[in-house]
Amino acid sequence: MSQSRRRLTLLPLLRLLPLLAMSASALPAIAADTFPEPGKVIRFVVPYPPGGPTDLMARILAPELQKRLGANVLIDNKAGAGGNVGSDNVAKSAPDGHTLLLAASGPMAVNGSLYKSMPFNAIKDLAPVIQISAFALVLEVHPSFPAKTLAEFVAAVKAQGDKVNFASAGSGTPQHLGGELFNQRAGTRMQHVPYKGAGPALNDVLGGQVPVIFDVLGSSLPHIAAGKLRPLAVTTAKRAAALPEVPTLAELGLANFEFSAWHGIAVAAATPPAIVKKLNATFNAIFADPEVKKRWEAIGTPVVGGTPEQFAGLIRTETVRLGRIVRETGAVAE
């Protein structure tokens, strides 16, 4: 082929390149403009059963999302494997922003160290949208348990060796890791009893079947107020605003003990950045509403908010920190 003929053959392709580039650069904007698609339901996946704090947050947020996005929002509780089942479902969903994950610290930052194999990689397979919570955990006991202070609790547990059980929402959840960290720091040998969600775990503690739980503050507040649970300490560096009279573990002698449960929103990793940005702006607008903020703080967590990049940074740092706690405490998935 002559040089002149090669130039003629390439010329139409060269003319198309600017158009292709323009089309590619316009895709995120077009995706954001048409999101959510008319008539399409937004599925809001909660990776735990109904009744726990994760589910409660979704039920506060769903109607607010529906109002602001103009699309029906369906809460879908997909429990199992410490939150892995629901989280994996979102990781493998269509990357179009119509499937949201209420992302919890367990499957996002703990389970990769706790489980021998994972069906998804939280950092690679999910795109962070926004952090929405930072809950204190409360070390609490059934009123029948013979301890009214932390010192009495530690003495009572040590006297029974490994006969005292503590409940959790499942392997890898904050309740599990908080209890294992307490065992390590306090020199106790409580046995972990995992449940399929915070609701069933808390119900058995309320019923006296299991005497101890390190529960997320939001789900326990009404039971503490009713005298059905006795709080002994919180696991955060500062006292919880909702329980100002309850001391921190650090105040009571476990220096530098700091542990919290956080949540956020995530979508499938290949979701267009423009849709992630639109979702982030929507959630930040929800939390700017004074009524929503009031309801949020009433369940025991401050409003967090922020950017996708800030939430991504939290996931990365917590994956390292919580992975270290898993190794140091010898925590295992049960």
Mean pLDDT, rounded, for 14-31: 50
Closest among 176, 54, 157, 205 to 113, alpha carbons compared: 176
Q: For residue 24, what pLDDT band results from cuts at 50, 70 and 90?
A: very low
Max mean pLDDT among 7-11, 52-56, 60-64 falls in 60-64
pLDDT tens digits for range 39-48: 999 999 999 9
Identity at 81, one-letter amino acid code:
A
Structure confidence at residue 16 (pLDDT): 52
Task: Of 6-15, 106-115, 293-302, give the lowest mean pLDDT range.
Answer: 6-15
Structure confidence at residue 228 (pLDDT): 97
pLDDT above 60: residue 118 = yes
Q: For residue 6, what pLDDT band results from cuts at 50, 70 and 90?
A: very low
Closest among 134, 133, 135, 159 to 146, alpha carbons compared: 159
Q: For residue 27, what pLDDT band results from cuts at 50, 70 and 90?
A: very low
| CATH number, domain 42-134+260-329 | 3.40.190.150
Share of the chain above pLDDT 90, in %: 71
pLDDT above 80: residue 130 = yes
The reply to whether 136-234 shares the fold of 42-134+260-329 is yes
Mean pLDDT, rounded, for 253-261: 88
Closest among 262, 321, 302 to 128, alpha carbons compared: 262
Q: For residue 74, what pLDDT band results from cuts at 50, 70 and 90?
A: very high
CATH T-level assignment (fold) for domain 136-234: D-Maltodextrin-Binding Protein; domain 2 (3.40.190)
With a threshold of 0.85, does the pTM exceed it?
A: no
Q: Report cis status (omega within 30 of 0) of the bond before 36.
A: yes
pLDDT tens digits for range 193-236: 999 888 899 999 999 999 999 998 888 889 999 999 999 999 99
pLDDT above 50: residue 298 = yes
Question: How far, in Å, are 41, 72, 122, 278 from residue 99 at the CA level?
Answer: 9, 12, 16, 14
pLDDT tens digits for range 138-190: 999 999 999 999 999 999 999 999 999 999 988 888 899 999 999 999 999 99
Residue 240 or 87, more confident: 87
When the pLDDT of each residue in the chain is averaged and rounded to a whole number, the result is 89
Per domain, the residue ranges of the chain are 42-134+260-329, 136-234
pLDDT above 50: residue 71 = yes
Burial label for 15, CB within 10 Å (0-12, 13-18, 19+), is: exposed
